[in-house]
Amino acid sequence: MSNFNQIVCPNCLAVNRIPESKPAQTARCGKCKFQLFTGQPIDLTDANFDKFTAKTSIPVVVDFWAPWCGPCKMMSPEFSKAASKMEPNVRFVKLNTQDHQNTAAKYKIQGIPAMILFKNGQSVAHLAGVRRSNEIKSWIEGNI
Mean pLDDT over the full length of the chain:
95
Cβ contact 32:26 at 8 Å: no
pTM: 0.94
Average pLDDT over residues 76-104: 97
- Provide mean pLDDT across the span 112-127: 96
What are the start-end ranges of the H helices in 15-91? Answer: 49-55, 70-86
Tell me the C-alpha to C-alpha distance, in Å, between residue 45 and each of 34, 52, 91, 92, 94. Answer: 19, 10, 15, 14, 9
Is 111 a member of any domain? Answer: yes
Torsion of CA 64, 50, 55, 39, to 10 degrees: -30
pLDDT tens string 80-90? 999 999 999 99
- List residues with catalytic annotation: 69, 72
For the chain, list the strands marked E by DSSP. 4-8, 15-19, 42-44, 60-65, 91-96, 114-119, 122-128
What is the rounded CA–CA span in Å between residue 128 and residue 142? 16
Q: Is 2 within a domain?
A: no
Domain span holding position 110: 38-142
| Bridge partners, 65 (sequence order) | 96
- The CATH number of residue 106's host domain is 3.40.30.10
Establish if 26 belongs to a structural domain. Answer: no
> Is 75 a domain residue?
yes
The pLDDT confidence band at residue 94, using thresholds 50, 70 and 90, is: very high
Q: How many domains does the chain have?
A: 1
Residue pLDDT, tens place only, 5-21: 999 999 999 999 999 88
